[in-house]
Amino acid sequence: MRRLEGLARGAADALVGLLLAALFGTFVLQIAFRYLLNWPVGWTVEVCLTLWLWLVLLGAALCVPDREHVRFDALEQRLSPRARRIAGIFVAGALLAGFLAVLGPSWDYVTFYRIKRSATLRIPLSWVFSVFLIFALALVLRQLWTIARLLRTPVSDGAPPLAER
């Protein structure tokens, strides 16, 4: 199971790395066309915006560990291990409920945008915005995993903050 998790994490990191490289390459190309060749091209802006959207959402959902996300750990550190676990389950449950609630409307939004195309490259906007569905689904699975982990891990007095487990 650890090997499969390592492979999945490596694949996600590689995908986000490729998106970042493509974004950087497109940005450099945009500068070269505009300032070296005096020939501004519009498609590079559209590609950069789309790559940025995909990069941020996939990176946040698949690559950034829980301990690296914004947290209110000053409050968490003041809680007892048992209260910390209860708070963790509550927060994960609230995030789970929120992302489950937006999956249906987000699906409707993305599928609605099949009829619209991007301004320059004429890419269906459903392709551009479909990354949010991946993001939301990944966060649903992460919160389910967090709840399961918190329910099965024994409480100890010297327990580290929840995100470090």
* Contacts with 149 (C-beta within 8 Å, 6 or more apart), sequence order: 165
Mean pLDDT computed over every residue of the chain: 90
| Minimum mean pLDDT range among 26-40, 48-62, 66-80 | 66-80
The parent domain of residue 42 ranges over 1-64
Domain boundary among 64, 80, 103: 64
Q: Does pLDDT of 158 surpass 70?
A: no
Question: According to the model, what pLDDT value does residue 162 have?
Answer: 54
Does residue 105 sit in the same domain as residue 160? Answer: yes
Does residue 16 sit in the same domain as residue 60? Answer: yes
Cβ(62)–Cβ(12) below 8 Å: yes
Counted domains in the chain:
2
Domain boundary among 64, 89, 104: 64
Does residue 90 sit in the same domain as residue 57? Answer: no
Does residue 58 sit in the same domain as residue 83? Answer: no
**Residue 78: C-alpha distances to residues 71, 82, 124 (Å):** 14, 12, 49
Q: Does pLDDT of 127 surpass 50?
A: yes
Does residue 50 sit in the same domain as residue 107? Answer: no
* Three-class DSSP category at 69: coil
Domain boundary among 32, 64, 96: 64
Digit-coded pLDDT (tens) for 93-116? 999 999 999 999 999 999 999 999
Does residue 86 sit in the same domain as residue 164? Answer: yes
